[in-house]
A and B are shown apart, each in its own frame.
Chain A
Amino acid sequence: MATTKTATKKPRSKSAAAAKPTLKKKVEFRFETLFEREKAVRELIARTCLTMDAYDFNSYLDLCHEDFQYTITTYSPELRKDIIWLDHDKMGMKTLLDVLPLHASDHFLRLTMSRHLSVYTIDYSANDTRASVVSGLQVFNTAKDGGVTELLSVAKYFDTVALEGGKASLLSREVRLDTRMLGETGSLIPF
């Protein structure tokens, strides 16, 4: 027989609700100090890497603003122009990430990706609701037997972080690649 958790869920007691004002206050917190604001920004950028490294795509998308825009760009000296290799809004990104596990599962077995990040600069908008963040990125791939780690790409993140309602979320990300040959097999997984 099927049961549901909601059927057995205990209602919150009045006293528990009364103990919540501290939490409510936190939600409305507006990063009044530079330290807290910067910590939120840095943690957000780092978590986008950690969630993608873990192939935890849903958690990655949870870090993204509803108006999220994602691009992977590079300069082609052969064509002497900028080119865009991936361009998605949040829905497009979700569709892509949802379908990837259905693709060549051996690809997932082969790749253990690790995104190494250094946040270089953080600049805030006049009203402090946006942060422009530039980070250095190196993406490594380690063979499943742990024997060889290969540098897949050197790149930069050019991110815009929304600072709204006491929360930092990724509004846009441009992955600007220096390395255009992505290892032996390329990558289905966005950086």
Chain B
Amino acid sequence: MPQSATQWGRTPSLPPTHYVDSRIYTDQTLFEEEQEKIFEKVWSLVCHESEVPNAYDFRRCQHMSGKELLVIRGKDMKIRTFYNQCPHRGNVIAFEPSGNAKRLTCIFHLWSFDTKGNCVEITREKEGFQDRLSKKDVGLREVKTDLSAGGFVWVNVDDDCGPLEEFIDGSLDCFQHEFSTKPLEIISYHKAIVPSNYKLWHDTNRELYHEYLHRHNRMVAVMQPGYFDRLYHIFGNGHMSADPMDTRYDAYEGYGGEQRKLGWPGGGDTIHKFSDLFPTMTFNLRPPALRIDTMVPLGPDKTIIEYRGLGIKGDTPAERAERFCDHNAVWGPFGRNLSEDQIAVVGQMMAIKTGRDNSYILHGREENGAHDDICLRHYYSEWSKRMGRSAADPFNEQAAVAAE
């Protein structure tokens, strides 16, 4: 039945844990609060160690708070992270996405820094600063950096944060064998800037119900036995994973009518498994490739999504080619899935962007299986806790009405 304006704006007849106010995706003040209370507080995956394989390699990254970062492997082979910002006049030090340099020199006034963040050169130091300021006073701002199993590089801009392991809280344990049997290596990287909210992308990654969107997923997963039995597992800090599933790649046109032969060391050859970590990270394994999504929210309606594909270090050229081909067939920029997902979240934002005609986004499915929305409810429970606001009533309007 069509709804009137009053009916449209009415709160759903579900518990407040089972829906969210659509303004959490569109409101500028909430976004700025997220930057302060979430992005600048939690651990964030920024790259894989294989992106800086050699001493003096660096990788320019953008932190989810928007801050420019430089991930650098030192002569001691330790990976460190710094603000990609000269302490002199604030210019970006490295413009290139990646490179190799024993010294990082700012192009503006030629101040130089080593891979441990020490300033090693101030141009005409004595003439300009006499003894009032010296190199030891102007090192790079270091950011807490740690590696998780599999060689993923995480950072936290909060110096007082807890340990990474505590943050992950076992949510990646389902990849224990896949991440430890052989070293991983990055094989693909691309990104997209989508006019949508970062949480909408993460929602899509978390819930399997949207797989109806993808012909590929319908064929290889949804229509296969056991699909609906998959259960979600929730972890602390808003993270989740799902039961693995044996996926029938041969059910989709284009794979030659054969099940794939190249699998993933330490795991099943056709086992699909994934974990989604609050607030912006996704690990998605469809042998023979692993996909990692990370995001840089630029505003409530603009998000950089970074896609990484990983394979196995030491692949033969034939294995690498197969891994790459299968990865890109589904997850590459011309692949079957990502474009469709991007259309969906862009469409959501097109519909809700005004934020004026209050509407609700439902997270109400309860079926104790693959299409249960517990994966979403758990995320917004964490979001509400960190923001000090209910995702269903972020401006406390329902509570105010109830009090009248």
Q: How far is the CB of A75 from chain B (nearest CB, A)?
A: 11
**B interface, size bucket:** 35 or more
Q: Which of B191, B254, B333 contacts A92 (CB 8 A)?
A: B254
Q: How far is the CB of A10 from chain B (nearest CB, A)?
A: 40
User: Within the assembled complex, what's the spacing in Å between the Cα atoms of A182 and B214?
Assistant: 19
Q: Which of A77, A85, A98, A107 contacts B340 (CB 8 A)?
A: A107
- Residues of B close to A182: CB separation below 8 A: 192, 333
Q: Which 4 A-B pairs have the closest CB atoms?
A: A186-B339, A185-B342, A78-B97, A104-B340
0/1 interface trace, chain B 335-367, chain A, CB 8 Å (1 if under)? 110111011001100000000000000000000
- B215 located at the interface, meaning its Cβ lies under 8 Å from any Cβ of chain A in the complex: yes
Interface residues of A (CB under 8 A from B): 72, 76-80, 83-87, 92, 95-96, 98-99, 102-104, 106-107, 110, 180-182, 184-190
Stretch of B133-141, B162-170, B270-278, B324-332 at the chain-chain interface: B324-332
- Residues of B close to A180: CB separation below 8 A: 190-191, 333
Can you name 18 A-B pairs with beta carbons within 8 Å? Answer: A76-B189, A77-B96, A80-B98, A80-B99, A99-B254, A104-B213, A104-B339, A104-B340, A104-B343, A107-B339, A110-B343, A181-B190, A181-B193, A184-B195, A185-B194, A186-B192, A187-B334, A189-B334
- B32 located at the interface, meaning its Cβ lies under 8 Å from any Cβ of chain A in the complex: no
- Residues of A close to B215: CB separation below 8 A: 99, 102-104
Would A95 and B333 count as touching, CB distance under 8 A?
no
Q: Which of B213, B332, B339, B347 contacts A85 (CB 8 A)?
A: B332
Would A78 and B333 count as touching, CB distance under 8 A?
no
Would A181 and B191 count as touching, CB distance under 8 A?
yes
Q: Which of B98, B214, B332, B346 contacts A185 (CB 8 A)?
A: B346
User: Within the assembled complex, what's the spacing in Å between the Cα atoms of A182 and B343?
Assistant: 12
Q: Which of B186, B191, B213, B332 contacts A86 (CB 8 A)?
A: B332
A83 with B188, Cβ < 8 A, contacts A92-B254, A99-B254, A184-B346 known: yes
A79 with B98, Cβ < 8 A, contacts A102-B215, A185-B342 known: yes
- The interface centre, meaning the residue of A86, A98, A104, A180 with most chain B CB atoms within 10 A of its CB, is A104
Chain B minimum-CB-distance residue to A84: B324
- Residues of A close to B194: CB separation below 8 A: 184-185
Q: How far is the CB of A165 from chain B (nearest CB, A)?
A: 31
Chain B minimum-CB-distance residue to A85: B332
- Residues of B close to A186: CB separation below 8 A: 192, 333-334, 338-339, 342
Chain B minimum-CB-distance residue to A183: B192
Would B343 and A79 count as touching, CB distance under 8 A?
no
Q: How far is the CB of A94 from chain B (nearest CB, A)?
A: 10
Within 8 A of A (CB), among B159-194: 186, 188-194
